[in-house]
Chain A
Amino acid sequence: MANLLGLYTSGLGLVFKPDVILFTFAGTFLGIIIGALPGLTAVMGVAILIPLTYGLSAEVALMALLGVYCGAVYGGSISATLLSIPGTPAAVMTTMDAHPMAKKGEAGRALGLATVCSFIGGALSVIALSVSAPLIANFALKFTSIELFSIAIFGLSIMAYVAPGSSVLKAFVSGIFGLLIATIGLDPMSAYPRFTFGRPELITGVEFISAMIGLFGLGEALSQVEARAVVAEVQTALGRIIPRWDDMKRIIGTMLRSTVIGTIIGAIPGTGATIASIVSYGQEKRISKHPERFGTGCPEGIAASETANNACTGGAMIPLLSLGIPGDSVTALLVGAFMIHGLRPGPLLFTERPDLVSAIFLGMFVANVFMLILGLGGARLFAMILKIPKDLLNTLVIALCFVGSYAIRNSVFDMEVMLAFGALGYAFRKAGIPDAPLVLALILGPMMESNLRRTLALCDGNVVTFLQAFTQHPIAGVTMLATVALLLSPLIIRRRSTAPQRIRAEDRISGKG
């Protein structure tokens, strides 16, 4: 018992030192900025900082990096809310509801909700990490190719509904087009380069962060430049930032479910915050009584996405600490950070350096607290961006789109990709085709295809064996059933509410309250 308690207290001395606290704070702060800038992601932030931590002691270095990690996953929601460009891919789903809410003049409410949900998700996942890491890690190992395939399909199935107000047919055109673009690059099975047009940069596929920035950022800017009438797109009113109690009461269930989903998906090796937020958003939409409100600026949408993507931070640390394998691409970098300091993450760390493991738990929690303080305290500062005159804001957005996509891999080619997708986004807007399904397909397409074809290969290419496999893998089977339920949900909605006017009226009320 004393031993068990030691796991939580022995790190106190390591964490609560002025320099460690300072670096955790600085890391979190820098992480938020990195996350908020389109093109700079949590992976990049951690990668930039690793070489700078050579000279620091192991605990200071790890705290700074964990701060960047937690901060950057949250920071993406700021630009998603204010500019409608997800700062990191993990904030794609946040954009769907946070930006419409900001458009209604409730930018403060959106920022506040995103911040609090990020904190709850992050903090609860750290608790899960410290209490039941080995249990969750073993559960995560049950997710084999067939489970990952069904998760990808589940995520893809929400593409039909991420764009309210446009037809399902157009959403599917956009989604299938995205899936086709996602096949650019090496074939996952035979390693044959597909649709690469002889460009070596395309061998690893279209860089989807550039694609996302192009579609959301540049596409919008291009359609703004030609607008004759000046429309105040986002109102400058900020409103109350700290969420109201009735808002919190409304989303508490969403937050708890999204924390569970985020933690587990974070713990599955090879997934990450982006997939967690998509799945959680889909799940909440599936079980919601008013699924039609998702995408129009409802608090549940923000909560689902932001809680899940931050819950991934704790989740991804679970297999790293209990098995020594990274849960996502950021923790893969952390392996390197551990090694620089002569440490090997894994179960042996619990016996060799229990104080450090304890410090990681405490430090991540502290980073989440800093994130909450910085997020709520800085909201007014972030929202200054809305006060920038329209012409300059648009210019800044375009500049950020270009520099951000260059920064991903230091390549001008990714800027070209961004421009091409900007043109595509503009064309889509003209034809009334939603762009969100295409982004979803770009994220989930490779995951779906490679896991589908791997599962088929494992079944010796036999379709009957493949179908039987779903009965042997209950998680995959249940996920597929959930997918079917989600796909059928619009039929149910239509039956439940025949008067669309009523919905709109209700929504207006809920928007104010």
Chain B
Amino acid sequence: MNEIIAGLCIGATGIYAIAVARTFPLTPAIELRAGLYPQALGILLVLLAGLMAYGGLTRLRQAKPSGESAGRPAYWKTALTFSGMLGYLCLLPLVGFGISTFIFLVIVAWLFGSRLFRALAYSFAMTSLLYLVFRYVFEVPLPSGIFF
């Protein structure tokens, strides 16, 4: 099932790439169009992704309906982690590295099964350590926000 979805998505990307690459202009004095190579890759990708989706389809037909044994993965956790990451990237430029990273890591540690107190303590330590190492040892200017 996953293969079919992936095949369709990748195939769609390929078609999109072909469509965009067709608009690339022909520069005088350059032998080949800028869009030729991406277009060729796009066509190849659509073909391969199609084959993959077809393979998934045939396997789906042949497969006997069997109940998933180990239990369904906790997809809500992945979804939550991912949205946490999106939120982190939005928050980062606003409130700076320290606060946003701390909050983000507390959530992540909790999702990975830490107890709340443990998550708080380690996130604080980890944020401080990363800040120290990257800011002072490697001289990376981390994003600063309203406080520090």
The answer to whether A and B assemble together is: yes
Determine whether A195 belongs to the interface, using a CB cutoff of 8 Å to chain B. yes
Whether A180 lies near B77 (C-beta < 8 A) is no
Per-residue contact bits, chain A 441-456, to B (CB 8 Å; 1 contact, 0 not):
0000000010001001
Q: In the assembled complex, which residues on chain B have CB atoms less than 8 Å from the CB atom of A392?
A: 109, 112, 114, 122
Whether B34 lies near A180 (C-beta < 8 A) is no
Interface residues of B in 71-109 (CB under 8 A from A): 71, 73-75, 77-78, 81-82, 85-86, 88-89, 92-93, 101, 105, 108-109
Determine whether A239 belongs to the interface, using a CB cutoff of 8 Å to chain B. no
Distance in angstroms between the alpha carbons of A453 and B98 in the assembled complex: 47
Whether A431 lies near B5 (C-beta < 8 A) is yes
Distance in angstroms between the alpha carbons of A400 and B140 in the assembled complex: 14
Interface residues of B in 111-147 (CB under 8 A from A): 111-114, 122-123, 126-127, 130, 134, 138-143
Nearest CB of A to B134, in Å: 6
Whether A228 lies near B45 (C-beta < 8 A) is no
Residue of B nearest to A449 (CB): B37
Whether B112 lies near A395 (C-beta < 8 A) is yes
Whether A395 lies near B143 (C-beta < 8 A) is no
Interface residues of A in 222-238 (CB under 8 A from B): 222-229
Whether A170 lies near B21 (C-beta < 8 A) is no
Determine whether B17 belongs to the interface, using a CB cutoff of 8 Å to chain A. yes
Q: In the assembled complex, which residues on chain A have CB atoms less than 8 Å from the CB atom of B24?
A: 187, 192, 194
Whether A395 lies near B3 (C-beta < 8 A) is no
Residue of B nearest to A427 (CB): B6
Which of B2, B25, B48 contacts A176 (CB under 8 A)? Answer: B48
Q: In the assembled complex, which residues on chain A have CB atoms less than 8 Å from the CB atom of B126?
A: 395-396, 399
Which of A177, A224, A422, A423 contacts B10 (CB under 8 A)? Answer: A177
Distance in angstroms between the alpha carbons of A390 and B3 in the assembled complex: 30
Distance in angstroms between the alpha carbons of A402 and B91 in the assembled complex: 13
Which of B3, B14, B38 contacts A431 (CB under 8 A)? Answer: B3
Determine whether A141 belongs to the interface, using a CB cutoff of 8 Å to chain B. no
Q: How many residues of A contact B (CB 8 A)?
A: 61
Determine whether A406 belongs to the interface, using a CB cutoff of 8 Å to chain B. yes
Whether A179 lies near B41 (C-beta < 8 A) is yes
Nearest CB of B to A289, in Å: 31
How many A-B contacts are there with CB distance less than 8 Å?
166
Contacts A390-B112, A391-B114, A412-B93 given; indicate if A187 touches B34 (C-beta within 8 A). Answer: yes
Whether B6 lies near A190 (C-beta < 8 A) is no
Whether A395 lies near B85 (C-beta < 8 A) is no
Contacts A399-B130, A403-B130, A431-B3 given; indicate if A190 touches B52 (C-beta within 8 A). Answer: no
Distance in angstroms between the alpha carbons of A395 and B108 in the assembled complex: 6
Among the interface residues B5, B42, B109, which one has the most CB atoms of the partner chain A within 10 A? B109
Q: In the assembled complex, which residues on chain B have CB atoms less than 8 Å from the CB atom of A170?
A: 52
Determine whether A419 belongs to the interface, using a CB cutoff of 8 Å to chain B. yes
Whether A461 lies near B31 (C-beta < 8 A) is yes
Determine whether A426 belongs to the interface, using a CB cutoff of 8 Å to chain B. yes
Whether A192 lies near B49 (C-beta < 8 A) is no
Whether A183 lies near B37 (C-beta < 8 A) is yes
Distance in angstroms between the alpha carbons of A226 and B109 in the assembled complex: 13
Determine whether A460 belongs to the interface, using a CB cutoff of 8 Å to chain B. yes
Q: In the assembled complex, which residues on chain A have CB atoms less than 8 Å from the CB atom of B141?
A: 410
Determine whether A470 belongs to the interface, using a CB cutoff of 8 Å to chain B. no
Which of B31, B38, B111, B130 contacts A225 (CB under 8 A)? Answer: B111
Distance in angstroms between the alpha carbons of A402 and B140 in the assembled complex: 13
12 example contacts (A-B, Cβ-Cβ < 8 A) are as follows A169-B48, A225-B81, A226-B75, A395-B109, A399-B108, A399-B126, A403-B134, A415-B92, A419-B85, A427-B6, A432-B2, A432-B3
B residues at A contact (CB < 8 Å): 2-3, 5-7, 9-10, 13-14, 17, 20-21, 24-25, 27, 30-32, 34-35, 37-38, 41-42, 44-45, 48-49, 51-52, 55, 70-71, 73-75, 77-78, 81-82, 85-86, 88-89, 92-93, 101, 105, 108-109, 111-114, 122-123, 126-127, 130, 134, 138-143
A residues at B contact (CB < 8 Å): 34, 40, 44, 48, 167, 169-170, 172-173, 176-177, 179-180, 183, 187, 189-190, 192, 194-195, 222-229, 390-392, 394-396, 398-400, 402-403, 406-407, 410, 412, 415-416, 419, 422-423, 426-428, 430-433, 449, 453, 456-457, 460-461
Given contacts A172-B48, A187-B34, A396-B126, 20 further A-B contacts (CB under 8 A): A44-B138, A167-B55, A173-B7, A177-B10, A180-B17, A180-B45, A183-B37, A189-B32, A195-B17, A228-B74, A229-B70, A395-B108, A395-B126, A399-B105, A403-B101, A403-B130, A410-B141, A412-B89, A412-B93, A457-B32
